[in-house]
Amino acid sequence: MSSQPSRAVSPRSSSACLRSPSRPSARQTALFALTPLALCLAQATLAQQAGTPSADAAATAPQLQEVRINASTEKDMGFAPVEAQTAGKAPMRRLETPQSVSVVTREQMESRQITNVQQALQTVAGVSPVNFGRRGFDDLNIRGFRSTESILVDGLVQSPGMWAKLQPYGYERFEVLKGSASVLYGQVQPGGIVNAVSKRPKKEALSEVGVEVGSFGQRTLQADINRPLSESGKTALRINAQVSNADDPTQFVYRKDRWFAPSLSIDLGAQTDLVLFATYSQSEWMRQQGITPYGTLLPNRNGTLPRTLFTGDPSFGVYDVESTTVGYALEHRLSDAMTFRQNVRYETEKGTGNFVSNQALQANQRLQNRQASRQYMDYDLLATDTSLLSRFEALGVRHQLVTGLDARTGTSLLASRTCRIGALDLFAPVYGMQATCPEALTSDAPSKLTVLGLYAQDQIKFGQGWTALVGLRRDWSTNDTHNRVANTQTRQKDNATTLSAGLVYEFKPGWAAYGSYGESFLPQSGLTFAGSPFVPETGKQWEAGVKYESPGGQITGALAVFDLVRRNVTTADPVNTGFSVQTGEQRARGLEVELGADLKNGWKLTSAYTYTQTQVTRDTNAALVGLPLNLTPRHTLTAWATYKLPQYQRVTLGVGGRYVSEQIGSYPFTLPSYVVADASITYLGENYRLTAGVKNVFNKAYYDGAINANVVSPALPRNFSLGLTYFF
């Protein structure tokens, strides 16, 4: 892969200044005022003045790579990356990071023909292969806990509750930071975060156009074009685009995606990096809701049901969602040891969602009770992160200190109508049933969230091979909600202090042992029966392990053990039906092993083993205490390897698979264990790449998720894909 034409990879650029519209609306004016843009423009002006030195000075000016100290200095290629930036908001050796961090590179994704985030993270230890019926979102569990709302883009959180589905084609890599990570990122879930690192303009010209076809009507056309617009290459334009249509093994289910992402880097002098970026996406899909466990996993007196049965109703409607983002990322080097950075993103998402969900199966096990829902979504979010990165030495101790201000504000609305629809005869389905919907909205409660966080984290190197990482954060958040159905208004204020600390000792070149402690917090909306607001959910994790990095970085490995506790979990109120209380506590403990290799004999390998033991330690339902959490397999083993044939250097074979042990789907049923194998073959021509792949080679029938006790999620059967990428 690394020899493909026009694929030279330079460090990632991360910058851009947001342009104000000529006639801003009231909302846009307010958002502009909240953005520290004046500081951005002032820095840009200073950088422009500094960017016009004499000819002699210009000849000795620092190169672009030296300025981007927040960018990764290694290529986004290979199977054994030695560096990541999510754990420190700056490049850090994974060997010197006292916390588990995994990286999925672009080369790995291309070799496996990845089409969604869930597939991309299948080879990462600690990430559960969860599936909620291919409902159209990126659903993830990390270390036993839901992490769907903790997917970040370029270090900035997305609006919680958005119907987000990232297009992997637009990202150089995915970094997974496991465990509690609130010190740098604020309100996140305790299991961990996923940071998607976007493709950004490069100094070198790059042009590729690709087409991919596959099973179930898959048709994809995509392009990635980068053009330097100045002699130095610092001013450059990059455009990524993808159009994709696909059907599904389940009858009536389909998806259409349209995605476009331009970015522009601007030359503001040798000391400054600035990138403007935007994305636009439009998606339409019929939701695959899953199927009853009776007649699939469990016996049904009427017989066996086909796994491709659609239990919704195509006449009720689909999901139709449009989203946009615009922003900038700025870096200005104040000195050799200090860099000012500011990332800003404004995003909106609007759409409607129509789906029919399964309720309890009737006693005859033939008629499936259902409920229809119409949803109306309108989200916007302005997210900013302004920080100062300093590198200095004092008293023989080296520091890499990042201090910053994380500020967000946004509004959200997810209104809905709950409709009545007739039961479906699972063994003689008739579609086109009329649904009865109320005129008034069932739920309608727009809210406004404002978050402010101050943080500091210091990487300290001292002695012979010792590295400490210490962080502290203070957060304040306000959530104003107007329930227009109940005609009530509530304001919920939360604040929290979180900390993290870790220590690494490189006891032998390439070998390091570490231990760490981390905290997280996540405010919860809603009130108890008594009218008291819920307190934030918290997470605390202890972790220890050993890491390895071979000379030259051809092999990397890590072993970690962890103990993670989630507190203030919202559970059902045992006295007041329809209300909740916060008495729940859950615990996850486990072991993770990862190995990556880029060997000179043509082999590349990424593999992982995960052992996870989860438990409900406190709940209002005493029957649940002591039981494992849903969708957390005890054992997961995964591997993917590629081999470049020595006799035919243009041909690369890929093979891999994963084993997932039995797991609770939703009480009272379990999902059986399964083994799935994948394979691919790639031919690299002078200016093109041809890849053919097959997933689920042996057509294993298995279930990889469940929504509740009424719905189980069949996984995809064997499917083929053929992709052609042309470089020019």
Instruction: Inform me whether the pLDDT recorded for 104 exceeds 80.
Output: yes
- Over its C-alpha atoms, the chain yields an Rg (Å, rounded) of 26
Residue 247 has what pLDDT?
95
CB 137 within 8 A of CB 148: yes
Query: What is residue 49's predicted lDDT score, i.e. its pLDDT?
Result: 39
Q: What is the pLDDT of residue 57?
A: 37
**Are 230 and 262 contacting, i.e. CB atoms less than 8 angstroms apart?**
no
pLDDT of residue 533: 81
- Give the confidence band of 530 by pLDDT, cuts at 50, 70, 90: confident
Which band of pLDDT confidence, cut at 50, 70 and 90, is reported for residue 524? confident
Letter string b/e over residues 436-473, b meaning 16 or more CB atoms within 10 A of that residue's CB: eeeeeeebbbebebebbbebbbbbbbeeeebbbbbbeb
pLDDT band at residue 1 using 50, 70 and 90 as cut-offs? very low
Domain 26-656+663-727, CATH class in plain words: mainly beta
Could you tell me which of 239, 237, 262 has the C-alpha nearest to residue 327?
262
pLDDT tens-digit map of 134-155: 888 888 899 999 898 899 999 9
Q: Mean of the pLDDT values across residues 489-502?
A: 94
Roughly how many angstroms between the first and final C-alpha of the chain, as a whole number?
16
Query: Quick check: helix, strand or coil at residue 552?
Result: helix
Query: Does the pLDDT value for residue 51 go beyond 80?
Result: no
Amino acid at 440: A
Say if residue 23's pLDDT is above 50. Answer: no
Residue 334 half-sphere exposure, CB side, CA atoms within 13 Å? 12
Q: What is the pLDDT of residue 75?
A: 53
Q: Cα–Cα distance between 702 and 332 in angstroms, integer?
A: 52
pLDDT beyond 50 at 11: no
Average pLDDT value for the chain:
88
Return phi, psi of residue 154, to 5°. Answer: 55, 40
The one-letter code for the residue type at 373 is S
CB atoms within 10 A of CB 38: 10
With a cut of 60, say whether residue 60 has pLDDT above it.
no
Residue 58's φ and ψ, nearest 5 degrees, are: -65, -35
Which residue, 712, 713, 716, is CA-closest to 700?
716
pLDDT at 597 over 60: yes
- Angle at CA of residue 198, ends 550 and 258, nearest 5°: 135
pLDDT band at 570 (very low <50, low <70, confident <90, very high): confident
Contact 82, 549 (CB under 8 A): yes
Mean of pLDDT values over 265-291: 95
Summarize pLDDT for 335-366 with one digit per residue, the tens.
999 999 999 999 999 999 999 999 999 999 99
Kindly tell me the burial class for residue 688, based on how many C-beta atoms sit within 10 Å of its own C-beta (0-12, 13-18, 19 or more).
middle
pLDDT band at 103 (very low <50, low <70, confident <90, very high): very high
β-pair type (218-228, 206-214): antiparallel
Q: Report the pLDDT averaged over residues 412-435.
A: 96
At 395, the pLDDT band (50, 70, 90 cuts) reads confident
Low-confidence winner among 19-33, 226-240, 389-403, 592-606 (lowest mean pLDDT): 19-33
How far apart are alpha carbons 173 and 103 in whole angstroms?
7
DSSP letter (8 states) at residue 107: H
Instruction: Please name every residue paired with 171 in a beta bridge, in sequence order, or none if there are none.
Output: 198
- Under the banding of pLDDT at 50, 70 and 90, the label for residue 50 is very low
Q: pTM of the predicted model, to two decimals?
A: 0.87
Which has the closest alpha carbon to 132: 101, 165, 102, 156?
165
pLDDT at position 572 is 80
Q: 192: left (phi > 0), else alpha (psi -120 to 50), else beta?
A: left
Q: Given the structure tokens 């100045």, which residue do they identify?
A: 230
pLDDT beyond 90 at 59: no
